[in-house]
Copies of this chain bind each other. A is one copy, B any other.
Amino acid sequence: MSDLFLDAFLRAALREDLGGAGDLTTEATVAAGALGGAVAVARQPGIVSGIEPFLRTFTLLDPRIEAERHVDDGARVEAASPIVTLSGPLRGILSGERTALNLLCRLSGIATATRGYVDLVAGTRARIVDTRKTTPGMRALEKAAVRHGGGHNHRFGLYDAILVKDNHVAIAGGVAQAVLAARNHAGHAVKIEVEIDSIEQLDEALAAGVDSILLDNFSLETLREAVKRVDGRVTLEASGGIDECNVRAIAETGVDIISIGALTHSVKALDIGLDIPMA
């Protein structure tokens, strides 16, 4: 997300926190011209994501605030590691603190969780990917966080790929009919994936000519059978009920893609604080 796209989102976030009257406390207690510094510091280990929106929040409040980055998005930090040092007008630093941290902590939480899964499947062919279960308005930022954590992105929305799910199959009257309809409708630049609920639908899906198949809530055994029968002809995605306990076993079945909604729908914020040293 370039500044071009980020700015409208951040301005809305700042307006939400500042309202019409502004930061009453800071205006009362900090002189208009006071200068100072601040350091964003990790309070626990994790993977950083969101440095750009974090910094841009301050710049939008006061373009005189400058920054020195100690790490880049995707870096692993330890507790007490500095991430970014800010300097400039103190009012802007204090007024932007909460909005900026809300973003950085949430996105770093996503990156950290993603990295945990990526490490768990290391050495297998499986990619950890996200879903569309993201926070409204933050999808691009959250999908970038997944990449910063070493994961990959599933489709961005309903518009950039076709994913024929169970309801579509039921309405269309079967996997073959649904996929055929999709192929007639879609341009040649659009990939087609179909979700199946049982191994019995696998041959129908393959025959229909899809690019990938989502295996919804399959057992390990059935996943292995699917991998064997498909034999690399299309991409296989495992999805549903995946957590830290079973992800390795699922990866070892040989699937290409493991998608995990909790990466973005149930985020534990990474604890990052803003230290403002006083002379």
B188 touches A152 (CB 8 A): yes
Which residues of chain A in 110-148 are interfacial with respect to chain B, using CB atoms and an 8 Å cutoff? 127, 129, 132-140, 143
Per the CB 8 Å criterion, the residue count for chain A at the interface is 100
A158 touches B190 (CB 8 A): no
The answer to whether the Cβ of A224 comes within 8 Å of any Cβ in the partner chain is no
Q: How far is the CB of A36 from chain B (nearest CB, A)?
A: 8
The answer to whether the Cβ of A79 comes within 8 Å of any Cβ in the partner chain is no
B158 touches A22 (CB 8 A): yes
> Known: A189-B191, A265-B102. Contact between A12 and B136, CB under 8 A?
yes
Which residues of chain A in 191-247 are interfacial with respect to chain B, using CB atoms and an 8 Å cutoff? 191, 193, 211-212, 235, 237
B171 touches A189 (CB 8 A): no
Give bound CA distance, A106 to B137, whole Å: 14
Point out the residues of chain B lying under 8 angstroms from A20, CB to CB: 1, 5, 16, 19, 139-140, 156-157, 159
B103 touches A159 (CB 8 A): no
> Known: A30-B168, A61-B2, A158-B18. Contact between A109 and B186, CB under 8 A?
no
The answer to whether the Cβ of A70 comes within 8 Å of any Cβ in the partner chain is no
Give bound CA distance, A54 to B150, whole Å: 32
Q: Which residue of B lies closest to A98 (CB)?
A: B132
Give bound CA distance, A156 to B17, whole Å: 7
State how many copies of this chain the complex holds. 6
A133 touches B4 (CB 8 A): no
Q: Which residue of B lies closest to A92 (CB)?
A: B2
The answer to whether the Cβ of A276 comes within 8 Å of any Cβ in the partner chain is yes
Q: Which residue of B lies closest to A167 (CB)?
A: B276
The answer to whether the Cβ of A260 comes within 8 Å of any Cβ in the partner chain is no
B25 touches A162 (CB 8 A): yes
Q: Which residue of B lies closest to A103 (CB)?
A: B136
Point out the residues of chain B lying under 8 angstroms from A137, CB to CB: 9, 12-13, 16, 136-138
Could you list which residues of chain A lie within 8 angstroms of chain B, going by C-beta atoms?
Answer: 1-2, 4-5, 9-30, 34, 36, 60-62, 90, 94-95, 98-99, 101-103, 105-106, 109, 127, 129, 132-140, 143, 152-165, 167-172, 178, 181-182, 184-191, 193, 211-212, 235, 237, 256-257, 262, 265-269, 276, 278
Q: A20-B157, A29-B181, A34-B171 are in contact. List 14 more A-B contacts (CB 8 A).
A: A2-B61, A4-B11, A18-B158, A19-B158, A25-B162, A26-B168, A29-B178, A98-B133, A99-B136, A101-B133, A109-B266, A136-B137, A152-B188, A188-B256
